[in-house]
Structure 1
Amino acid sequence: MRYVRFLPANGLLLGITLLVNGSAFAGDFTVKAATVIEMKAVYGQVESRTIVPARARISGTITEVRVTEGQVVKKGDVVATVVDDKIALQLRAADAKIGALNSQMENAKTDLQRAQDLLAKGAATQSRVDAAQTQFDVITSQLAAAIAEKAVTQQSAKEGDTLAPADGRVLTVPVTAGSVIMAGETVARIASGQYYLRLSLPERHATEITEGAQVDIAERGIGVEGGFIKARQGRIAKVYPEIENGRVIADVEVADIGSFFVNERTLVSIPVAKRTVLGVPPQAVSTVHGIDYVTVDAADGPLGVAVVLGERYQDGGQPRVEVLTGLAEGDKVVLP
């Protein structure tokens, strides 16, 4: 049996003694300085890499809207249908014109055949045959042009369907059925890119923010007052070189960000500084009457030293508790 005195950091005797069995100590731990990364919880805003508009290709009246906010669409899906009543009239006019030209072409073909027959009998001149051939060729070209014009009108009718330009989620639909819209106006906005988090940090952290650094993302809906609960991990993909209004802008990539809303804010814990600390294993600390003690291997045997503790951290995968005062680097701590 031996007695160990517990002394505060200033060396004054507390008058507290503990009866310690000599076999109660498992070994020594040498106090060494370690570098830890300080984390700061900030709000990050969910953004989409690209937001593309689905635009009307023709002017007219919207007869049907097929999507709503939040709906997931694929590239080429019909977002809305725009109808221009003039297109139907243009198609009927094109059909009538084609019919008239078909009749003229039949007459020109008959005249050409008659002129060729008379020329063979010697009752007509070559100039008459040439004139009939020219008339037939002109009407044939006019018919081809009328058919092409009808195809253009038919294509315009098909372009009444407003298509999704890319895969994504519909953010807004600023139109309703019955609205009059012009060609080029936006029918819906679609978030088509991968979601990421945009951070806005104070300028004092500019030198500590580096691309590739790992960050922690909190559970959705958790505020600062609720404590930080890690849900997933990401990395800083880009740090913008321009400081805006005293803020550093950085983007965080997350492999599976979940079902966040665009522009939703969530807590992100980011590394902002490094500091050197002294720490011991948590089991090396004992508490007596509300005061924390660490047993140090002194020249005359184990000695209890009062310490002030800080935060817990990991050193090489091992848990440590920071010691603010009471120990110096190189001290040998006796582990129970």
Structure 2
Amino acid sequence: MKSIAIVLAMSMSLIACSKKDDSAAQIAPPATIITVAQAQGRHLEISEQTVGTMEGLIDPNVGAEVAGRVVQVLAHAGQVVKKGQLIAVLDATDYSLQKREAQAEIGRIQALLSNQEKIVDRNQRLVQKNFISRNALDDASSQQDALRQQLEGARAQLAAIEHNNAKTRVVSPIDGQVEKQIASPGNFVKVGDSLFQLIGTQRLRAHLPFPESISAKLHPGQTVRLSTPTAPDKTFTTTIREIKPLIGNSNRAADVIADVVDQAGWQAGASVNGVVVLGEHAQAVVVPEASVVLRPAGEVVYLIKDRTALQRIVKTGLRQEGMVEIVEGLAAGETVAVDGAAFLTDKAAVKTQAAAQ
């Protein structure tokens, strides 16, 4: 009987231990599902960003060079034009008539000159035979020279008429945009009357305002990257040309000036986004922003080793494009938790899965 009691006691003890193990298994928290990433070494720029405006450096006022009635207007406000493009036509009837008159005068003088040349040639032969005096030959030669001068004058007059006739076709002097159409078909314009106001796009100037706290870090020659909504797929890299103070009642801002040359699609008056590069961090260690978690000890990341999260206190630096620079506490190549990091504690069990694309 004593043996039976001992066996029963041992059985009860084993059953109790099994229940305790089952309870412990049920109490242990499940592994946290996370995504992971490796800390990367990357080149980071120290930069400041602002939004400014574009100014046109070339904005000619296109005026009439000859008097006449406007027959056609081929460009309108907001239209982009190329250098040499026809933008207006003036009535050229008067110049066509003047040209015909000048051509007829040239023909008349050429006929007289041709006859006079024959007279001079004949008088030269008669002088050689002493049939006429030398004075008669000199008089014929003088008349020949006068006709030649008249012919040159008539040709010059024709060239002037043709030149003025060409001015009835008004062309754009630059690549740019029509800011204002002044003349309309039917208007009579005099020499110098305005027809169009253009804004050039070949040479533009970006004005970028920066606050007083940043202006001390800026100087001519620094690299600046510019982009504008009118050319959304292009970024133009240039340098700071000049810095001017913008002194107001409540600030001491700086106007940072940079030139933009020969960039298709860029327009005066448009907004411009400017990024000035102040410096760089070579081979900075970076992790995704979601990896850095705020805890009572400070900013931490969780290193993942052997399916376990190990808390690591870090010091952060720059934040760019969803990445955070780790100045202290982490080396490139180490694996850290990303999605789910905020739910981790030190030495917590984890289960990794592929990151969402």
Equivalent residue for 1:208, pick from 209, 217, 223? 217
Q: Counterpart of 2:268? A: 262
RMSD after superposition: 5.4
| Structure 1 residues 22 and 115: alpha-carbon distance in aligned structure 2, compared to 1, 3 A threshold | closer
Q: Residue 207 of structure 1: CA displacement? A: 1.0
Q: Counterpart of 1:163? A: 171
- SS, match of residue 165 in structure 2: helix
In the TM superposition, 1:44-123 aligns within 5 A as 44-48=52-56, 50-83=58-91, 86-109=94-117, 111-113=119-121, 115-116=123-124, 118-119=126-127, 122-123=130-131
- CA shift digits 1:171-213 (9 cap, x unpaired): 3332222331424845341423165642123334211335545
Q: Counterpart of 2:253? A: 247
- CA shift digits 1:251-293 (9 cap, x unpaired): 467899885653133565667999xxxx9974463889xxx99
Which residues of structure 2 form unaligned runs of 5+? 1-26, 34-43, 281-285, 303-308, 331-344, 351-357
Percent of pairs with identical residues:
20
Q: Counterpart of 1:15? A: none
Equivalent residue for 1:313, pick from 316, 319, 325? 319
Say if 2:291 and 2:301, in contact at 8 Å, map to a contact too: no
| Structure 1 residues 270 and 142: alpha-carbon distance in aligned structure 2, compared to 1, 3 A threshold | closer
Q: Take 1:232 and 1:62, find their aligned partners in 2: how far apart are those partners?
A: 39
Say if 1:239 and 1:249, in contact at 8 Å, map to a contact too: no
- SS, match of residue 71 in structure 2: strand
Q: Counterpart of 1:226? A: none
| Structure 1 residues 192 and 186: alpha-carbon distance in aligned structure 2, compared to 1, 3 A threshold | farther
Q: Counterpart of 1:138? A: 146
Q: Residue 38 of structure 1: CA displacement? A: 7.6
TM-score for the superposition, normalised by structure 2: 0.56
Q: Take 2:132 and 2:96, find their aligned partners in 1: how far apart are those partners?
A: 47
Q: Take 1:110 and 1:243, find their aligned partners in 2: how far apart are those partners?
A: 80
Q: Take 1:218 and 1:107, find their aligned partners in 2: how far apart are those partners?
A: 72
Say if 1:168 and 1:192, in contact at 8 Å, map to a contact too: yes
Say if 2:183 and 2:194, in contact at 8 Å, map to a contact too: no
Equivalent residue for 2:202, pick from 184, 190, 193? 193
| Structure 1 residues 126 and 157: alpha-carbon distance in aligned structure 2, compared to 1, 3 A threshold | same
TM-score for the superposition, normalised by structure 1: 0.59
Q: Counterpart of 1:182? A: 191
* Structure whose residues are more often helix by fraction: 2
Q: Take 1:109 and 1:255, find their aligned partners in 2: how far apart are those partners?
A: 60
- SS, match of residue 105 in structure 1: helix
Which residues of structure 1 form unaligned runs of 5+? 1-17, 25-34, 221-229, 297-301, 323-328
Q: Counterpart of 2:14? A: none
| Structure 1 residues 19 and 217: alpha-carbon distance in aligned structure 2, compared to 1, 3 A threshold | farther
